[in-house]
Amino acid sequence: MSWGRSHSAHGWRFWARPAPRRLPPIRVRARRAAALFPSRRTFDEGGGYYDSGYVQPLDFFGDGTRIPLIAVSPYAKGGHISHDYTDHVSILKFIERNWGLAPVTTRSRDNFPNPVVNEDNPYVPLNTPAIGDLFDLFDFPAG
């Protein structure tokens, strides 16, 4: 530890003050940052932008809540909304299918089949447990 000059942008006087006197500038900066993002939405499984649709009992740990996925690619189908049941493992299934690779292990979720659904209820696979491979989001050229 160096007792010489502080390398902090605030200098040693900032840290020598009691904590309550340091907090107002931090609160002001937080309010300014919040003004830039008025929606304050997060995109995660723990309480962000999601819905409470059907969740498959895939394995001992289960599956989380559904979250949106936006595919950005020159091959993405514009305006297409997929109702396939997908998971984080769907990205792995996509890579395996696209490049002809074998599943990671015989026990992993990427071994589950792609969902087969009834048109009346496209959210619940008939062949549960099943996870999609995201191929319905893209329109790849033949060849």
Residues 61 and 114 both lie in one domain: yes
pLDDT for 97 = 92
Residues 88 and 27 both lie in one domain: no
pLDDT for 3 = 47
Residues 16 and 48 both lie in one domain: no
**CA dist list (Å): 56 to 85, 87, 89:** 9, 10, 14
Residues of the chain with confidence (pLDDT) below 50: 1-4, 6, 40-42
Number of domains in the chain: 2
